[in-house]
Amino acid sequence: MPPNNEKSLIPLTIHVLSNARTLYSTRRFFEEGYKRGHKMRVYPPVQMSAYLERNALELYYADQKIETPHCIIPRLGQKKSAHTLAIIRHYEMMHVKSLNTSHAMARCRDKFVTMQILAQNKIAVPRSVLLEDPAHIDTAFEKIGAPPYILKVPTGSQGTGVMIADSKGAARSLIETLLDQGLQLIVQEFIAESRGSDYRAIILGGELIAAMRRQATGYDFRSNIHRGADAEKVELSIEAARTVKLAARILGLDFAGVDLIESNRGPMVLEVNASPGLEGIEGTTGVNIAERVIGYLEEVITS
């Protein structure tokens, strides 16, 4: 990887795919790429269209054909994620390197799919049940154990769609209400010994480059920094570091934010984010993650 204070020898064209140009992470990727001499562009996927015919693949933004870049940095949010994945896939079919592939990002779009893949590969995850029919509520309680229970919508982010129920009665009421609205729901065990804290680890190219511990504050059990959680830089244990790196590799992610919790049964993976936010962890750890990502892409493209 090029030294931090040197520009890349070969200027690249890099597209950042983000539906929110003003987001911290989007700005940081743009800034660090520009500083290293690259041609940076930000395109919102929801405003892009894909064209194809036999032996021809093209992408358009605002009715203008987009030049084919060397690589893309895709950011997959909740807004029209299926369209965003289709745009990423189109770039890939044009032989453009994507920081994370569309296939790997699609796997992480749904929290339960992520846990299915990790559990199948012997990665520890909390006991969980996916529900769509209230007739299975009692079975879920039986499999998970005593309350409290964590209730999650499979596609939520930054703590949205995550609830806690302190009793079976409260859980049943919430579950029935949400299922009645046509939602799928994950019912998950509550890891009491974590005391409202978890770890966010950033993996890049198979290496652990930054980690922080997040602690929920006040009455909120969620440890998301966007919800006011406290954070501090940490060094993960050997077992935890191995777990987060393995989780990213199993899911096929070159760049990932892995959320981990310590339990009496060892470290468990809670979620894996294919578009991890940079603001909280860059500020907490002092690691210039955006620059590291640009350097990684330089290395991959020019090797």
Give me the sign of the Cα torsion angle 74, 244, 289, 195: positive
Q: What b-and-e string marks burial along 204-238, b requiring 16 or more CB atoms within 10 Å of the CB?
A: bbeebbbbbbbebeeeebbbbbebebebeebebee
Place of tokens 């050997």: 238
Same domain, 67 and 215: no
Per-residue pLDDT of the chain (303 residues; tens, 9 = 90+): 444 556 656 899 999 999 988 999 999 999 999 999 999 999 999 999 999 999 899 999 988 999 999 999 999 877 789 999 999 999 999 999 999 999 999 999 999 999 999 999 999 999 999 999 999 999 999 999 999 999 999 986 655 688 999 999 999 999 999 999 999 999 999 998 888 899 999 999 999 999 999 988 755 555 554 545 789 999 999 999 999 999 999 999 999 999 999 999 999 999 999 999 999 999 999 999 999 999 999 999 998
Same domain, 237 and 113: yes
User: What per-residue confidence (pLDDT) applies to 112?
Assistant: 96
Same domain, 94 and 36: yes
User: What per-residue confidence (pLDDT) applies to 1?
Assistant: 47
What letter does residue 154 receive in the DSSP assignment? Answer: T
User: What per-residue confidence (pLDDT) applies to 193?
Assistant: 87
Same domain, 244 and 117: yes
What CATH number does the domain containing 150 carry?
Answer: 3.30.1490.20
Domain housing 84? 13-100
CA-wise closest residue to 157 among 276, 248, 246 = 276
Same domain, 118 and 239: yes
- What whole-number distance in Å separates Cα of residue 141 and Cα of residue 157? 25
Same domain, 197 and 258: yes
Characterize the bridge pairing of strands 149-152 and 185-189: antiparallel
In this structure, is residue 6 part of a structural domain? no
Split into its structural domains, the chain has a count of 3
Same domain, 233 and 133: no
What CATH number does the domain containing 50 carry?
Answer: 3.40.50.20
In this structure, is residue 1 part of a structural domain? no
Same domain, 116 and 216: yes
Of 136, 170, 190, which residue sits at a domain end?
190
Same domain, 185 and 256: no
pTM comes to 0.91
User: What per-residue confidence (pLDDT) applies to 162?
Assistant: 87
Same domain, 215 and 117: yes
Same domain, 61 and 91: yes
Read off the tokens for 33.
């790429």
Same domain, 161 and 54: no
